[in-house]
Structure 1
Amino acid sequence: MAWIKQINENEATGKLKQVYDEILNTRGKISNVMKIHSIDVDSMKHHLDLYLSIIYSESNISKEEKELIAVVVSSINNCSYCIHHHAEALKNFWDDESKINMLISDYKSIEFPIRVHAILNYAEKLTVTPGLVNEYDVQNLRIHDLSDEDILNVNLIVSYFNFVSRIANGLGVETSEEEAKGYKY
C-alpha cells in the first residue's frame, strides 16, 4: 500500500477521470505509479505525456533498447516496482526468464552488441555518478553510431527512469505479478 492517499479509477471524477480514461486508452490499464499522482492530476497528466513522448516516440533507439535501459536503471536504483514492470515489458522481446534475471543482477554478463553495451554503460554512469559524466561518455556513444538525437533520447530515457524510481521508492508504490501484466506495449 502506498504511503500517501490515492484516488482509484472507480472514485475518479472530472479531470482525473478524463486522465484515467486517457491512460486506459493508451496503456490498457492504470499503473500504480500513475495512481500515486491522483491527488495532483496535473502532475499525472504531465507524467503521462512525458512517458508517452520518451518511450513511444519514433527514434533510432528501439523499444527493446528502451526497456533494457529501464531495467538496468531500475535495478541500479533497487526499484522493485520498476524492475517488475519493465522486466515484464521486456518479455515482449525475450522469452528467456534467466536472461532477464541476469540483466537485473549484472547486465555486463550478457553478450550484447557493442552499441547496446555502450548505451547501458552510459545509463549506469548517469544513474550512479551523474556528476562524473563528461564529453568522453557522449563521444563514446557517437563512436557506436548514435546520433546526437539518439544520445538525447538515451539521456531522456535514463533520466526518466531515475525520476520514476524515486517516485516509486519514495512513496511506497507497490506492484504485484498481476499489476505488472496486461499493459499495451
Structure 2
Amino acid sequence: MDSLLTDQRLWTHCRLSGFAPNVFSALSYRPEELRCFINYYGVVMEPRGNLTKADKEMIIVATSSENNCLYCIIAHGALHRIFSKDPYLADQLAANWKSASIDERQRAILEFAMDVCQCKPLSKERFENLYKHGLTKDDAWDIGAVASLFALSNRMAYLMNLKPNPEFYLMGRVKKEKTPEETK
C-alpha cells in the first residue's frame, strides 16, 4: 500500500480525508487493479456537465443501498453529507430513495440510475425526463457511468467483506477540526 501512495489521486484523497479508506488497503491486494480503479473513479467522479458532486454521491448511496453494500452506503453517505451540506438526505436515500426528500430533478436522476443499476431497459421517457430537468445526453452517460462503476465497487466490497472505516460514520455530522496545515 505504501508504494501506491505515490499515485496522485490516492495520495490526495488520503491527505484530504486524514485517513486511508479501507477500500484502498483491500484493493492493494492487486496493485495494478487498485491503480486502474483509482484512475477510473477519478475520471467518472470528476465534476462535469450538469451533475454536481452531491448528485453523483446521491446516485452512489441509492444504488449501493439497492445492492446492499454497507461499505459504499456509509462511505459515500458521508461524502454526500459533505458535498450536499445536508446532514439527513443520505440516510433517507439509503433507507428508501423513493420516500426521500428530493426534488423532481433528483428523482429523474435516480430513476435513470436505478434502471441502470437493475439492468432495466432505458426507455425514451427516462431520457426525456432527464432532458426536461435540464440534463443532457452526456449527463445520462455520466449517471450510467457512476451507477455502473459502483455496481463493480459494491460487488468487490462484498467479495472482500469490506467494512467502513469508523471515521466515515461521523463525517458530515460532526464538525472536523482543522489541522495546522489547513488553518494557514
Scaled by the length of structure 2, what TM-score is found?
Answer: 0.80
**Distance change >3 Å, CA 132–CA 149, structure 1 → 2:** closer
Which among 98, 105, 121 is matched to residue 115 of structure 1?
A: 105
Which among 158, 164, 177 is matched to residue 169 of structure 1?
A: 158
Which among 83, 89, 92 is matched to residue 102 of structure 1?
A: 92
Q: How far apart, in 2, do the equivalents of 1:58 and 1:27 lie?
A: 23
Q: CA deviation at 1:22?
A: 4.6
Scaled by the length of structure 1, what TM-score is found?
Answer: 0.79
Percent identical among aligned pairs is 23
The aligned counterpart of 1:35 is: 25
Q: How far apart, in 1, do the equivalents of 2:36 and 2:124 lie?
A: 30
Mapped contact 2:74–2:168 kept (Cα < 8 A): no
Q: Any runs of at least 4 consecutive aligned residues in structure 1 with deviations exceeding 6 A, and if so which?
A: none
The aligned counterpart of 2:12 is: 25
Q: Please tell me the root mean square deviation across aligned C-alpha atoms, in Å.
A: 2.3
Which of the pair has the greater relative contact order for Cα pairs under 8 Å at 6+ separation? 1
Mapped contact 1:33–1:167 kept (Cα < 8 A): no
1:49-128 to 2 correspondence within 5 Å?
49-92=39-82, 93-97=84-88, 99-128=89-118
Q: CA deviation at 1:117?
A: 0.3
Extract unaligned runs of 5+ from structure 2.
172-184
Are 2:138 and 1:149 aligned? yes
Extract unaligned runs of 5+ from structure 1.
1-8
Q: How far apart, in 2, do the equivalents of 1:134 and 1:121 lie?
A: 11
